[in-house]
Structure 1
């Protein structure tokens, strides 16, 4: 998996789960299970084996695990070959590697429209 930008701000390891509202700055890596609302101006990275379910509003989303719900990304969504996204996606840029799965409506918004959709 390509190296991410930003300083690691939080890490949820395999075997750990959180339910509720998560707000973070910089970079959050999820290799466990996170259910609820996730918001940040920066990057959420869902690693292999990681699962995020719910409302996601971030600057960038990188998926090598599984995401379910609604995704609003101001900059881009990147889905690696092991990534699976079962969600409605709002983002100006969507990158899907060979083997990556996207199931659900995709709205390719201009950056200014993605910000409006996130609010």
Structure 2
């Protein structure tokens, strides 16, 4: 049970593979493998060695493993040195550690609320290929 004032956290443990959809409030941490779309009000974390294949929408996203699909974060996306994204990214702010990898179009710097009104990435986003 979550402490008062502290958001709850759900964990997909390493060694587990799940296919489906994740929706809700609170923080979610993936240490295993997940295939499907994610839509959470809170922080979504992909641990080192974990993978997510699908669209990820959250307030903030921390990538330490691999994401294949679009990431949309109203607040922040942070890549750890082991983080990999193959897909497009839209975020309020972006932090990228040396050693991380991205292939796709990137948009960041939008204020909260503006991100969904941002023009589509078709030709308008920057390519972030390393």
TM-score band, normalised by shorter chain:
0.7 to 0.9
Deviation string 1:55-91 (CA, Å, 9 cap, x unpaired) is: 1110000011111101110001000001111110011
Report the count of equivalent residues.
112
Q: Which has the higher contact order (CA 8 A, sep 6+)?
A: 1
Bigger CA radius of gyration: 2
After superposition, the Cα gap between the structure-2 partners of 1:72 and 1:62, relative to the gap in structure 1 and judged at 3 Å, is same
Q: Which residue of structure 1 lines up, in the alignment, with residue 44 of structure 2?
A: 44
Which structure 2 segments of 5+ residues have no match?
Answer: 1-5, 119-130
Within the alignment, does 1:75 sit opposite 2:75 as a pair?
yes
TM-score, normalised on structure 2? 0.80
Greater fraction helix = 1
Q: Secondary structure at the match of 1:93?
A: strand
Q: 1:1-119 maps to which residues of 2 (within 5 A)?
A: 7-110=7-110, 111-116=112-117
Which structure 1 segments of 5+ residues have no match?
Answer: 1-5
- Distance (whole Å) between structure 2 residues aligned to residue 28 and residue 21 of structure 1: 12
TM-score, normalised on structure 1? 0.87
